[in-house]
Amino acid sequence: MIQPADIPIPPDLSRRYGGSSSGRGWLASLPGLVRHCLDQWQLELDLAPGALPRNGHGAIVIPVRHGASARTGTEFGNGTLGTARQAAVLKIAYPHDEALVEPQALALWDGHGAVRLLAGDAGAGALLLERLDAARSLHNAPLDEAVPVWGALVRQLGLVPDGRPEWRDFDHVAARAEQWSDELPESWERLGRPFPRWLLEAALEVCQTRGAVGRRSGRDVLVHTDLHYLNILAGLPGEEPESGGGEAAAGWAAIDPQPMIGEAEFAVAPLLWNRIRELSRADPERGLRERCRDFSMAAGLDAEVARQWSLAREVENALWYASTPGHDGDLARSLWVASTLAGRTLPELPAPHGLPAPGVPASRDFRH
């Protein structure tokens, strides 16, 4: 049987975290953290010899099995881990802000619209989660099928804040907008003005307007801020996730929430910067705006507010990409989406079908 020390580290995690002392320390700690969680929750590894665990941007995800005698030993979960050796996954995250508040959001959702949290260990950065089918995501579904699923999940996930203590840990979308009002102009100047000033000003107008409105709108809900197609998975056959969101969301659940409180329209942006090569070749700009409208309508959201938040989020993304070597292709994609949503697609950018795939360097620099 494979042992914790023998679990291979996915290569992209090694590349991402091997360049700093803190990252190397975390990578080196993983076998011990895995062993600790296996013992604490009485788990069995369910990884075939030679198989790689799955991973996200900042976490390793290892298939395991648990039984009825295991106890959570945590404030999260319901205290027991179910019956007979059930399939689950052990997720261990590199310490970062989004990972710190993920268990609180999953506890509030309690398996309705999102992956079910079975146990958590904040000290280890570990979560024990129900196992979903990582090979079947909404990324593989036709867009006309993805729209109603996404909309139903957003409705289901949009909980209204109440008196439970988990709510105290989330940042507010409006506060993030106020932060961007200060940070975006400074970053734009420091990075050598990588795109036209008018696009920066369009994002700042959104931050100032929506930030103020968001503070007083009374429309606050729990927002999954990274609800793109790959973060919506199907359940295992015969073990589909529970859904109170109606037939459209049946069998699907969200993962990796990066939760915040605020206007639900903040959630639309990741749908627009993914799968853009599927936009109409004849008029991709119109296609992008229609995609924003269609997903917004499916979730009962205001499409104009979604457009505004998506513009601001993509400008913020563009500045991050401009500051990070090797992301010229991502920068070009963000600038195309942001400027198109602003109504003035930058002319020096290629059509979306000519943009490199996410993470692939561009053949030239698209800075203004």
Active site residues: 226
Calculate helix-pair angle for 173-190, 197-216, nearest 10 degrees.
160
Q: What's the pLDDT at 355?
A: 84
Residue 309 in tokens: 């938040």
Is the pLDDT reported for residue 217 higher than 70? no
Rounded to a whole number of angstroms, the distance between the first and last alpha carbons of the chain is: 55
Specify the higher pLDDT residue, 128 or 3: 128
Q: In this structure, is the dihedral angle defined by the CA atoms of residues 104, 109, 113 and 119, taken in order, positive or negative?
A: positive
User: How much is the pLDDT for 265?
Assistant: 97
**pLDDT level of residue 76 (50, 70, 90 thresholds):** very low
Res 66: pLDDT: 87
Give the residue, 363 or 32, on which the prediction is more confident.
32
Q: Does residue 106 contact residue 98 with C-beta atoms inside 8 Å?
A: no
Distance (Å, rounded) from C-alpha 338 to C-alpha 316? 10
pLDDT score at 298 = 97
pLDDT at position 215, please?
63
**Cβ(173)–Cβ(209) under 8 Å?**
no
State residue 350's pLDDT score: 86
Residue labelled with tokens 């953290």:
33
Within 13 A of 201's CA, how many CA atoms are on the CB side? 4
pLDDT at 75: 42
Tokens linked to 302: 């205001």
Question: What count of residues does the chain have?
Answer: 368
Whether 86 has a pLDDT exceeding 60, the answer reads yes
Residue position matching structure tokens 């099995």: 65
108-130: average pLDDT: 95
Mean pLDDT of 69-80: 43
Q: What is the DSSP string of 73-91?
A: -SSSS-SB--SSSEEEEEE
Nearest to 84 by CA among 70, 72, 68, 71: 68
183, 184, 188, 194: CA torsion to nearest 10: 150
* Residue type at 264 in one-letter notation: A
Task: Give the 3-state secondary structure percentages of the chain, helix then strand then coil, rounded to 5.
Answer: 50, 15, 35
Q: Name the nearest CA neighbour of 106 among 229, 234, 241.
A: 241
Task: Give the span between the Cα atoms of 109 and 117, in whole angstroms.
Answer: 9
pLDDT of residue 212: 74
Q: What is the pTM of this model?
A: 0.90
pLDDT value, residue 95: 87
d(CA 91, CA 113): 19
For tokens 């950065």, the residue is 125
pLDDT in tens, 10-37: 998 999 899 899 999 999 999 999 999 9
Q: Sign of torsion, CA 127 133 135 140?
A: negative
State the DSSP H helix or E strand holding residue 261, giving kind and residue range, or none if neither: strand 259-262
CA distances 211 to 18, 205, 305, Å, are 37, 10, 12
63 closest CA partner among 90, 96, 101: 90
Do the Cβ atoms of 258 and 98 come closer than 8 Å?
Answer: yes
Domains of the chain: 4-130 (3.30.200), 137-354 (3.90.1200.10)
- Model confidence at 167: pLDDT above 50: yes
